Amino acid sequence: MTSAVKEALIAKLTALADDEVILAHRNSEWTGHGPILEEDIALANIVQDELGHATLWFGLRQQLDGSDPDRLAFFRDANEYRCCELVELPKGDWAFTMLRQYLFDLYEALWLEAARHSSYPPLADAVQKIIREERFHLQHTQAWVERLGQGTEESNRRLQQALDMQWGYAQQLFVPIPGEELLVAEGIVPDLARVKEGWLEHSTRHLQNAGLKLPINPGYQPTSRTYHTEHLWSILAEMQSTARWDAEAKVW
Amino acid sequence: MDTQWPRWEVFKQDTPHKPHQAVGSVHAADPEHALLTARNVFARRPQAVSMWVARAEDIYAWTKEEIAQSQLLQAEHDRAYSPPSSPRKYLVFRKTSHKRSMTFVDHVGEVEARTPEEALAQAQTTFTDAEALAWWVVPADKVYQTDPSPDTIESWFAPAKDKTYKQQQFYATVGSHISKHKLGRGVEDDECC
């Protein structure tokens, strides 16, 4: 592996992990506040799974540069994070949270499907572990999109509002990071343009079947993972405060 | 207006050759939703290969004591009631022990009957290998099951095998005994555990 490819792979793994960490932490805000106990538990399960995926991605990065996953998660500042802006947005109502998780799960499931035969064996191995859980997540969140979309006038309206807000943000999932073309050329990660084709086809069909209208004007579409919304600072302040309070702590 | 979703009883099968066992209940809007929440609540960690759900109101249940008390009454009821002519399939579940805390009734088989009461009577004469402390019968078409395809088993149930319960002691810094911390905060891990 050339140093340019290695550097790009480290950056890609960081972006993959950061999306999972921030989305997981965002959704963990529902713990104890879910609409019913069963869904509270279900979303907490998804959160734990996504954190597990982040651990796998950070683990792959560690093999390449020796970085400590906990240091990366808890001691990096917001401007060093490489998550997309979609996952940073406040959790909103249940429709907002379920729609975001659906759009992300669909992207992740399709990306993983395409990454199964990665030429980098450690990545292919990680994909095998993650893809099983992601398929189940997707079934759960697409069921919610269908039910909220076809439920009541109010649930449809709330879901439509969430879609109008998120559709542009979601497109950032398919913007390659600098150097990603090197990884695609080596067969290490899939081409995001191809993944996006499948995502658009599936999501358009499912959202329309659920009675939603795709926004004619997609709105703001972030393009660089070096820029963030103001929400990232506050979520990191909360997430990292305990670890940073006493970085040398051995016992709690 | 009642805004509560209906209650569904959940039956979990641990391995292909074990019976489905009642493990508890979930609230859900519809059968698919019930299966999704049931998987999250009851099969995130323990072993499973299949789950069934049935609405609580579709389940006919009797304890041994209820059966003993109602036999005369039931005979009256049967005479007054003319059952629908065509029989349907019922799934039969039975409880045989008070010792188990995590499950209630086990699936023991199916019977064809015209009414739930008739299904119970048939169950009592068919499944005689152990004393029944309680019976449940459920019309077969009211029981919804997880998709039996390998893909579903792989995504719904297989990940649980890699997720073991961790006792508190696993997280040594959180759960270790107080005496280990007498030297105060900042003790090195290898000294304290």
DSSP class per residue in chain A: --HHHHHHHHHHHHHHHHHHHHHHHHHHTTTTTSSSHHHHHHHHHHHHHHHHHHHHHHHHHHHHH---HHHHHHH--GGG----SGGGS---SHHHHHHHHHHHHHHHHHHHHHHTT-SSHHHHHHHHHHHHHHHHHHHHHHHHHHHHHHS-HHHHHHHHHHHHHHHHHHGGGGSPPTTHHHHHHTTSS--HHHHHHHHHHHHHHHHHHTT----SS-------TT---THHHHHHHHHHHHHHHTTT-S--
Q: What is the ipTM of this complex?
A: 0.90
**How distant is the Cα of B154 from the closest Cα of chain A, in angstroms?**
6
How confident is the prediction for chain A on average, in pLDDT?
96
User: pLDDT value at position A200?
Assistant: 97
User: pLDDT value at position B101?
Assistant: 73
How confident is the prediction for chain B on average, in pLDDT?
84
Asked if B56 is an interface residue toward chain A (Cβ–Cβ < 8 A), one would say no
The average pLDDT across A48-61 equals 96
Nearest to B165 by CA among B25, B44, B50, B14: B44
- Verify whether the Cβ–Cβ distance A39 to B37 is below 8 Å: yes
The average pLDDT across A93-98 equals 98
**How distant is the Cα of B144 from the closest Cα of chain A, in angstroms?**
16
User: pLDDT value at position B159?
Assistant: 86
For chain A, percent of residues with pLDDT exceeding 90: 94
Inter-helix orientation angle A94-115/A153-170, to 10°: 40
Q: Does the pLDDT at position B72 exceed 60?
A: no
User: pLDDT value at position B161?
Assistant: 79
pTM: 0.89
- Verify whether the Cβ–Cβ distance A41 to B27 is below 8 Å: no
Q: Does the pLDDT at position A250 exceed 90?
A: no
User: pLDDT value at position B1?
Assistant: 63
Q: Does the pLDDT at position B140 exceed 80?
A: yes
- Chain A interface residues (partner B, CB cutoff 8 A): 36-39, 41-42, 45, 49, 129, 132-133, 135-136, 139-140, 143, 147, 248-252
User: pLDDT value at position A217?
Assistant: 87
The tokens for A199 are 């995502």
